[in-house]
Each structure stands twice: as C-alpha cells, then as structure tokens.
Amino acid sequence: MSVVSTVRRIGLLGGTFDPIHTGHLDVARAAQRELDLPYVDFLTAHVPPHRPQPAASSFHRFAMTALAVNGVKGWRASDLELRMPAPSYTSQTLERFRERGYRPSELFFLVGADAFKDLHLWRDYPDILGAATFVVVSRPGFPVSVAERRVSERVILIDAITADVSSTAIRERRALGQPITGMVPDSVRQHIEHHGLYSPMPPDRRSAGISPSTASRVHGEN
C-alpha cells in the first residue's frame, strides 16, 4: 500500500449521538486499534431515516460529539451530514467522500453488530457494501457472528469488549433524575447537566404546552 493511500485511510462512525456515549467510543477505539486507522470521523446524523426524531437538537448533539472526541489523536467531529438534506443516508454520505477523491478501499465504515444486523433495510443495499469497507464491532448481546452471513472481502469483523450502554438508557436515567456518570465522557455529562438535556419536564413548562422532546431542543437552537 502506498504512503498516500495509507495516510488517507479513514474510519467513519455515524450516529444520532443523542447522546454520544462510551459504547460509541469503544467501537471507534477498537476499529482504530485493529486497523491502524490514522483518522476516525464521527458523523452526527441530521435526521436518521430508521429512528424517531432526536430528543436533543443537532446543535447539542454535535457539541457533545465534539467534546467526546476532543484531545484524542486522529478523532474528529464532522458536521457533514448536518449540512446535507435530511434524512441522513449512509450511501449519500459515502458518495460525498468519493466526491472528495476517496476510493472505497480508503473508507472504513464503522458499525456496531447490533446495527449491522439490519443492514438489509438500509437505502441502496446491497450496493452500499461496495462503497466502503464495513467494519463490524461486537456489542453487548450482539456478537460479530450475527454478521457472518454477510461477510465478504468488504466486511471486517472485530470481536471487542464495548460498554453495555445505550443512548436510550441514558435518556431514561436522566428523565428519572438518575446519574449517568461513566456512561458518557465527563465533558459530555457536564454539557448535558448544564443545559438540562433529557431532564424531566418542569411543571411550569409542561403547562405552557412545551413537549418533553421540544424541551431538549430549545437550548442553543439556531
């Protein structure tokens, strides 16, 4: 492999990041370590096509992602999908990187085994498998064996220990007033607490007709 192509090898980890958590970081860390990736871009999704509307605004979700990757060598927060028309499709994201001159062999799309099991539901499947090398990392309850039936030269399986945490569990704990220490980086926890994200709705705001999902989006919305 040439020096130029080695430098241009890039990992791409997309997600709603509502909020980003230690499980996401473990997936990125495992892939970067196993594949010696110089860079990993964390792509905050605009509006995910297969999931409900995010509770926090894109402003906060991107801010939390930037805080989570800050100071880690080669990790970068990307707003590429936030600048694209919604909803966010992986096939369109990979096309943007190809337009920048990246070859499919230089793109490594990182995904947890829990998400990869639904790959057949993604837009442009199965053609999307030719747009990048898919790197499937095990998640609690989802060993990489769930991906074996789709293994090809463009799919890499990594068996790694990743934190048993989810964004849903974090939001639920916040709604109940329970601590989330250790589930997210400390800088992200501070951001969540400072802005009151995912918190129970105060009675005065509930009577004003503000929904719980809206409450998480009003802070810093541009």
38 close to 31: Cβ distance less than 8 angstroms: no
Fold of 3-166: Rossmann fold (3.40.50)
C-alpha 214, offset from chain centre: 22
Q: What pLDDT band is residue 117 in, cutting at 50, 70 and 90?
A: confident
Q: What's the chain's average pLDDT?
A: 86
pTM of the model: 0.85
Residues 6+ apart with CB under 8 A from 54: 16, 18, 47, 48, 61
- Helix 58-69 and helix 186-195: axis angle, to 10°? 150
pLDDT in tens, 30-89: 999 999 999 999 999 987 666 678 999 999 999 999 999 999 999 999 999 999 988 889
Torsion of CA 47, 73, 134, 166, to 10 degrees: -50
Taking the domains of the chain in order of start, what are their residue ranges? 3-166
Report the C-alpha gap between 72 and 80 in whole angstroms: 20
φ, ψ for residue 78, nearest 5 deg: -115, 135
Buried b or exposed e, range 143-162, using 16+ CB within 10 angstroms = ebebbeebeeebbbbbeeeb
